[in-house]
Amino acid sequence: MLPNFELLLQNIPEALFILNIDGYITYANPAASTITGYASDELINQPLTRFYPNAHDAIRTEYELSQVRKHGKLITEGWKLKKDQTPFWAEMTLAPIYDRQQTLTGYNCLLRDTSEKKQRELALRENEERFRLMVEGVRDYAIFLLDVNGYITTWNEGAQRTKGYSSGEIIGKHFSTFYTLEDLEDRKPERELKIAIATGKYEEEGWRVKKNGSVFWANVVITALFNSENKHIGFSKVTRDLTERKQAQELLRLSEERYRSLVEQVTDYGIFMLDDKGRIISWNEGARRIKGYNAEEIIGKYFSIFYTQEDLFNNKPANELRIAIEVGKYEEEGWRLRKDGSLFWANIVITAVYNTDGTLIGFSKVTRDLTERKAAEKALRESYDQQRILAEQLKMTNEELAAINEELAVTNDDLAETNRLLLRSNQSLQQFAYVASHDLQEPLRKIISFSTLLQEQYAERLGEGTDYLERMQSAASRMSTLIRDLLAFSRLTTRKDTAGVVALTEVVNQVLTDLDLTVQETGATVEVEPLPTVYGDSSQLRQLFQNLISNALKFRRAQVTPVIQVTTHLMPSVDLPLSVKPARAAAAYHRFDVSDNGIGFEEKYTERIFEVFQRLHGRSEYAGTGIGLAICEKVVMNHGGAITAVSKPGVGSTFIVYLPAEPNSMPVAQAE
């Protein structure tokens, strides 16, 4: 053997043996001693079976050598033994050696210790088995795998429990089995897989079909699976039955709607809400009947509009709000003004309203017209005085006076009973105001606090009850969002000391800074022309553009990159469309267009979208409470302008804002 070649063999890290044609070792490199534990001289002339667990397994050796001669090479894996009988997992490669005449002269054998690799493989296989058992045992979630074409390859216990199919019934079928006929006609399953491949996963909530044909509301997550070579190998699909949660949400919505309808339809009491500055933000039927104003005439005005000039000179409205904040509520009887200028005697209760954080968000105000009662009391007093004067004039006898007194006593008893009933009514009124302001907030705070404690401290003990806990938290979150949005609506203020020259370019830049994370997440493009300065309230105008731009980001089309444009131009008032009626007259107006390429809407809903609590889409599709555009309209009207929209479903929307261009033509409304 050449010296250089032998030096090369000695430096190979694997055990290298040269065997004669009978399978006996004629050469072993140093690594062979290191791996097997035998000295080099102990290995020479030893059969290869020396390293086999059965050292006398000549049959196996002869078979392996015959396979080498037949195929030219043989690679096997199995247990081998060291000198001290320690087993190790090895990969053995056998190849024939021929001389120049192609006569077989022996074999070379390369032996690698792959014990560590084998242990890793066994550990990975064990982990995969544990994961498989865990997935199969999950009952609350349907978890299964699809091949690259959407055919089901695995099925867990949760899937059988949720959808009704056993594994034998469903494996091998296409996952579109669970979709409604409408979804199948719309090729929805195929579209979901394409989205999962393109974006990594697809998630939604929607109706799915069980084995028995019934439908259930499901949360679905489809994830595209790729191997280490980034080759698509299939999908994982996780489904959760949210039917009970959806029913609970619908019940909560109906409850909120019933409560709102109840307040709006009460006719004996004027019940309305004020923001934290005393501006009117809601108006019920009783308030309209008592005070004479329609909702569109009064919402946004300061509640001092109902007070006499004397009360205004005494700063009475502001003092009432201050007392309500200090002690929780303010109550009195006094004269108030109707729309037609007439006076009526009112019982009023003003209650401070706070959110869950203890922040003042406004006031509830309940008013009752007591004019008829006061007239009756006055008539009674006048009757008493007339009888007393008559008695004195006629010098009535004691008996006659006694008879009159008896009659008056009966009348006074009637009056006392009337007063008692009125007192009870007032107490009921106070209780209603308390419930409408404080008691509706306090349970919400407790629900949020206690549900959080339950989740943090008793999650393991609750087990499947965590599902109901999540529903409770979802409902509380919905109510909290509603209160927060009402607060935003109620806080709109147009006080004189907040008005000034506003650079709208800076305002919109601030808005885009606030929305930067959402813009990045959606990949949106926002294009803003240089904008003019206007006269108004900078915080309100910032809220206007923030609502319009965030709506454009929220109501985007799936798989379409949002494009939002803010443009402007100056136009004389004579060029305004006939349908546009600004709140204040001006010679010219700045027109601002906020356009998007989102989902759009039918233009028959143009007026409806600016009403409070009005929504064109379900909460499961797009989050929100239906107050944002109402805020926009209120801001624009406060600034003497107008707002409208044009849209087309599937193409996009443009919201058009008109603001007076001349400072003196549109001062922001002052508090009375």
Strand partners, 302: 279
Q: Indicate the pTM of the whole model.
A: 0.34
pLDDT of residue 580: 85
Q: List domains and CATH numbers for the chain.
A: 15-120 (3.30.450.20), 138-247 (3.30.450.20), 495-660 (3.30.565.10)
Pairing between β-strand 201-209 and β-strand 215-226 as defined by DSSP bridges: antiparallel
3-state secondary structure of 418: helix
Angstrom distance (rounded) from CA 442 to CA 203 = 35
Sheet holding 343-354, edge to edge: 270-274, 360-369, 343-354, 329-337
End-to-end CA distance of the chain: 112
Which whole-number Å values give the CA distances from 640 to 108, 535, 661, 668, in the listed order?
Answer: 97, 10, 10, 8
pLDDT of residue 54: 76
Q: 74 near 64, Cβ under 8 Å? A: yes
Strand partners, 206: 218
Q: Which amino acid is at 116?
A: E
pLDDT along the chain (672 residues), means of 10: 60 88 90 89 88 76 88 90 91 92 92 86 66 57 92 92 91 94 94 94 93 93 91 93 78 62 68 94 92 93 94 94 94 93 93 91 93 75 68 59 64 66 51 46 72 75 73 68 58 58 93 92 92 91 91 87 93 87 89 93 80 59 67 89 91 93 49 33
pLDDT of residue 317: 95
Phi and psi, residue 299, nearest 5°: -65, 130
Sheet holding 215-226, edge to edge: 142-146, 232-241, 215-226, 201-209
3-state secondary structure of 444: helix
pLDDT of residue 617: 55
pLDDT of residue 400: 59
3-state SS, one letter per residue, for 290-348: HHCCCHHHHCCCEHHHHCCHHHHHCCHHHHHHHHHHHHCEEEEEEEEECCCCCEEEEEE
Q: Is 600 left (phi over 0), alpha (psi -120 to 50) or beta?
A: left
Angstrom distance (rounded) from CA 291 to CA 369 = 9
Q: 147 near 234, Cβ under 8 Å? A: yes
Pairing between β-strand 525-528 and β-strand 563-572 as defined by DSSP bridges: parallel
Angstrom distance (rounded) from CA 477 to CA 470 = 10
pLDDT of residue 424: 61
